[in-house]
Structure 1
Amino acid sequence: MSNPVLNESTFDKMRQRHAGEPGWGVASGQPTGTWAPPMTDGPTTKYHPGVMTVSGAASASLVLFALLLISAAVGWIAVAEPEPNRLSFPPMAFVGAIVGFIAVIVTMFKPMLSHILGPVYAVGQGLFIGALSKMFDAMYSGIVLQAVGTTLAVFGVMLFLYRTRVLRVTDKFRRIVIGATLGVAVLYLVSFVTSLFGANVSFINSSSGIGILFSLFVAGLAAFNLALDFDFIEKGEQMALPQRMEWFAALGLLVTLVWLYLEVLRLLAKLRDR
């Protein structure tokens, strides 16, 4: 649910791996090894790689988002109705979710494979989201359109706040958001494990006041993670990370958007149940 892809440890790994190479530095201006401005003369080759840019990360994000939408449409259509008013969740959607999860885990350790694993995640997760959305829409008519609109609106607001520097990603802000995200992740994990034994953390799925407040908190936390994603992309350009890291950044952003959408969908469903 949270975004394990874009985090400070990625910067640390890339610094250690490429310390002393031309074109590498840190956003704060403190050197790690010998820093020099990125060389841009001559053609891009494997010996003279391109560097990450914000526009490049944006383009990669659009590609992954398009793949997600197409795959989601397939997942939506794949939901069968064996009997009137009874839907059957397609097995390939479960497979897609598992494949997407594995792709993200591998990318955490092999970020330079993001240009391959990013599309794999988008397609796999798209199948799952499309099928899940169809199930929700069957129970709550029109809820998917509301969730999509809300997610895009939140994305736009967070991007505006970040670009205008109304919202600044400081070290303290980053620690709080990451800490809270890890806390929610642990809570979800505990809830999943206890559900295997017939128990559950009731307020997570409850439409009670506490349940709705919890969903509001988690959705807000997902929104703040978008700010961390924007910051990662901006710093990646400043540090002149390798061009393939554009796909890594795009994947991280998509992971957060998917999480935000699912939390908004859950919140709207709870509100409908009241």
Structure 2
Amino acid sequence: MKTSNPVLARLGQAAERERAAGYAPAGAYGQPSGQAYPTAAGYPTQAGYPAAPPTVQPMTVDDVVVKTVTLLGITGLSAAAAWILVPDAMLFGAWIGAAVVGLVLGLVISFSRVANPALVITYAVVEGVFVGLASKVFQEIAGHQGIVLQAVVATFGVFFLMAALYKMKVIRATPRFTRGLIAAMAGVFAVMLINLVLALFGVDTGLRSGGGLAIVFSLVCIVIASLSFVLSFHEVEEGVRLGLPQRYSWTAAFGILVSLIWLYIEILRLLSFLQGDD
């Protein structure tokens, strides 16, 4: 099986080895060949072969959908709990703490070669706290009433639009598209990091202050975040084609969740700029 993604290719090869390990000839597991072995039901297998261990279940699109909905539910519940339970006096500290912890967890999951459902679920909980507190700041503290509902509707509207465009093959994750989008994402994150460092030293670059430059930058981030769904859909498609183990559906769902959260925050920020300080 061939794919342009070397990571997916390695995972596909690992899946083939796992599936091959699901069948063992007589004499495996230290038993003499030719002997009948009891199965789970208590009956010997045919020709004296031992009962094969369960084969590795390949992931499906449905697996990814279920995991994505599950993570979204966890994120939503965590966000609601943070909104209600975190007092205003601790709001900004908890918000920054959740952002830092979420970033670290995201990097660990992204660079790990092993799917870890527990780690992905933990990320969803932490990001739920971050999203909930960010939403509270924009709507309650900054006074932009109704902005959260508007951002949620816009976020899922963009998501379903990108899913439809990908399904109709209007946009495809070609090698050139992938390289260009990854470069754009790296550039945007570098600009964000530099802007954050400068802000800590009291330097206002105007990227997040609500002016014309801030609106343009938010629009650029929204476009890139929207296009990142194409990479996520492509990874799901390739993962299913390569027969990756079912547990990797958690990793695929994680990628979609990251894009959804980024898109939501950028739309929330843009809406706050457009509404002004009223």
Q: Match of 1:120?
A: 122
Unaligned runs of 5+ in 2: 21-50
Q: Match of 1:251?
A: 254
Structure 1: how far apart are the matches of 2:261 and 2:86? Answer: 20
Change (3 A) 1:74 1:130: same
Once the two structures are aligned, what percentage of the paired residues are identical?
35
Structure 2: how far apart are the matches of 1:9 and 1:251? Answer: 19
In the alignment, does 2:58 pair up with 1:61? no
Change (3 A) 1:23 1:158: farther
Q: 1:134 aligns with which of 133, 136, 159?
A: 136
Q: Match of 1:103?
A: 105
Q: Match of 2:276?
A: 273
**RMSD, matched Cα:** 2.5
Structure 2: how far apart are the matches of 1:114 and 1:107? Answer: 8
Q: Match of 1:18?
A: 14
CA contact (8 A) 1:23 1:240 kept: no
Q: Match of 1:34?
A: none
Provide, for residues 10-45 of structure 1, a one-character-per-residue CA deviation record: whole Å limited to 9, x for no partner: 325525x63973769xxxxxxxxxxxxxxxxx9873
How far does residue 147 in structure 1 lie from its aligned partner after superposition? 0.5
- TM-score normalised according to structure 1 size: 0.80
| Bigger relative contact order, structure 1 or 2 (CA pairs below 8 A, ≥6 apart) | 1
- TM-score normalised according to structure 2 size: 0.79
Q: Match of 1:157?
A: 161
How far does residue 99 in structure 1 lie from its aligned partner after superposition? 2.9
SS in 2 for 1:206: coil
AA aligned opposite 2:271:
L
Change (3 A) 1:116 1:189: same
Q: How many pairs align?
A: 242
Structure 1: how far apart are the matches of 2:52 and 2:121? Answer: 27
How far does residue 121 in structure 1 lie from its aligned partner after superposition? 0.5
AA aligned opposite 2:118:
I
Q: Match of 1:38?
A: none
CA contact (8 A) 1:79 1:89 kept: yes
Provide, for residues 26-76 of structure 1, a one-character-per-residue CA deviation record: whole Å limited to 9, x for no partner: xxxxxxxxxxxxxxxx9873xx21112111111111110100000000111
SS in 2 for 1:133: helix
Change (3 A) 1:10 1:146: same
In the alignment, does 2:211 pair up with 1:214? no
AA aligned opposite 1:159:
A
CA contact (8 A) 2:95 2:133 kept: yes
Structure 2: how far apart are the matches of 1:199 and 1:95? Answer: 22
In the alignment, does 2:184 pair up with 1:180? yes
Q: Match of 1:72?
A: 79
AA aligned opposite 1:263:
E
Change (3 A) 1:113 1:235: closer
How far does residue 180 in structure 1 lie from its aligned partner after superposition? 0.6
CA contact (8 A) 1:111 1:245 kept: no
Q: Match of 1:235?
A: 238
AA aligned opposite 1:216:
L
AA aligned opposite 2:230:
A
How far does residue 149 in structure 1 lie from its aligned partner after superposition? 0.7
SS in 2 for 1:205: coil
Give matches, 1:27-66, under 5 Å. 45=54, 48-66=55-73
Structure 2: how far apart are the matches of 1:185 and 1:215? Answer: 12
Unaligned runs of 5+ in 1: 1-6, 25-41, 82-86
